[in-house]
Amino acid sequence: MKILIAEDDLISSRILQKNIENWGYETVLARSGEGAWQALQDEDLRLAILDWMMPGMDGIEVCRKIRRRKKYKYTYIILLSAKDRKQDIIAGLSSGADDYMTKPVNFLELRARLQTGKRIIDLEDKLLVIQNQLKDIASRDSLTKIWNRSEISKFLNEELERGQREKKPTGVVLLDVDHFKKINDFYGHSIGDQALLQVVSRLKRKIRKSDKIGRYGGDEIIIILPNCGLTEIKRIGDRLRLAVGKRGLKTELDSVQVTVSAGCATSELPGTASTDKLIRVADGALLKAKGQGRNCVVVAGQDRQMAREQINV
């Protein structure tokens, strides 16, 4: 772990450095408040020893600036000072320091206090990992592990906004497994789940890194395609459909033949600027594909009348 030593007095700084390095930490040195603040732009620098009295910006001001910033991980601060009156200690801690030590420093005490700081930083890191894991769990479908409906809607919203800024179309493909209920009823839900997992796996292999795939409903899969217009989306829809239906899906019981229907829409169509409307238009195309006998792709833009009808629903 790296520790910042911000101390204008060379001797004090050198003694701190030697001791702290002997304890197995890396050190970064600064001799002014400005130098300390600059060094603390490094996100890996999570532990700081700041001298109160420094030329220019003092340790108190550095503390305040650190506590005002939002996006950084926690920085544990030990404030050093020759000031040992109660009101000084209170002022130091009130500025945002976690700990306060008076000079000259007792190094056994400093070592123990650094261990406390390290413990808190480690604890925060563990919490952040768990927080990210929980966030990921909350964002994904529990069976297929692809994005869930609310997360994919957020992506689509962001993508539409970006597309508008960059004047690029956004495509949506909504896929539905044909007769999925019959698969569940005939083979059981376990086999149905296995089939759905394989459908997702085949679809994932056919999309770009920048595309996003999510589970929109029971057997409905949605794919968001950045920078994809009406001229490309039919070809992509067909590629996805063929990827699923070209051969049977292996399950623990049997090989199950599965096909999908796909409804496609892009933000080039009038009235599709919002997430809801674009999905509604794609859903209309999907219904039409099912009406045409399934295992086919319908692109909303190829039938403007249908798009208008869906928007006006």
Partner 1 sequence: MSDSANLDKLRPIDFCDVLDRIGGDTSFLKELLNIYFQEYAEKKRLLEQAITREDFTQVCELGHSLKGASANLSLVRLQKVAFALETAGRERQLQLAQEAARSLDTEVQTLKAFLEGNPPGKFV
CB of 104 to partner 1, least distance (A): 5
**Is 107 a binder of partner 1 (CB under 8 A)?**
yes
CA-nearest of 244, 296, 295, 274 to 172 is 274
Euclidean distance between CA atoms 9 and 292, whole angstroms: 82
Residue 112 binds partner 1 (CB under 8 A): no
Max CA-CA distance within the chain? 85
3-class secondary-structure state, position 58? coil
Extract the tokens encoding 109.
Answer: 């005490």
Answer yes or no whether residue 120 interacts with partner 1 by CB under 8 A.
no
Element (H, E) at 110: helix 107-139
Q: Which of residues 40-59 bind partner 1 (CB under 8 A)?
A: 53
CB of 58 to partner 1, least distance (A): 12
Task: List CB contacts of 284: < 8 A, sequence separation 6 or more.
Answer: 263, 300, 306, 307, 309, 310, 313
Identity of the residue, 14 or 239, whose beta carbon is nearer to partner 1 in the bound complex: 14
- Applying CB under 8 A, among 1, 2, 12, 149 the residue interacting with partner 1 is 12
Residue 287 engages partner 1 in binding (rule: CB under 8 A): no
Q: Please state the closest distance from residue 30 (CB atom) to partner 1, in A.
A: 16
* Residue 185, H or E segment: helix 180-187
Q: Cβ of residue 18: shortest distance to partner 1, in angstroms?
A: 6
Question: Which 66-105 residues touch partner 1, going by CB under 8 A?
Answer: 82, 103-105
Pick the piece of the chain touching partner 1 (CB under 8 A) from 12-20, 131-139, 145-153, 286-294: 12-20
Residue 282 contacts residue 173 (beta carbons within 8 Å): yes
Single-letter amino acid code for the residue at 270: P
Residue ranges in contact with partner 1 by CB under 8 A:
8-12, 14-15, 18-19, 22, 53, 82, 103-107
